[in-house]
Homo-oligomer: A and B are copies of this chain.
């Protein structure tokens, strides 16, 4: 689907919140219907998923401790007219060894988040009228 480019958001999530939940609420509050997410930071006890295609479920991998968030990437799109946030993360432990998966949960120690908001082309015309 084609979009126009609308706005960018650059902000930090507060320490202690759940990263995914925080972005969901942010997208909802700002009424972001489509966009790219890119972020770095430091997460506490991140929980990541590996999708088991036979069972059709995410198998949860619970990492313990503090991990560098090398990159959180994903998208915001609309599902049932609400912003839906999907994020994959790459993480690293204190030895620099990397892990990753579908983000299920992760407590923010530091999170620097960028969202580039897209806008449906028919909405652009409405806004310019």
A interface with B by C-beta (< 8 Å):
1-11, 34, 36, 38-40, 42, 48, 50-53, 59, 61, 63, 66, 68-71, 73-75, 77, 86-102, 109-110, 112, 114, 116, 118
Q: How far is the CA of A25 from the CA of B57 in the complex (A)?
A: 31
CA distance A96 to B97 in the complex (A): 11
Which residue of the partner chain, among B11, B70, B87, B109, contacts A90 with CB atoms under 8 Å?
B70
Q: Which residue of B lies closest to A70 (CB)?
A: B100
| Residue among A40, A63, A90, A100 with max Cβ neighbours from chain B (10 Å) | A100
Shortest CB distance A99–B (Å): 4
Inter-subunit contact B61/A51 (CB<8 Å): no
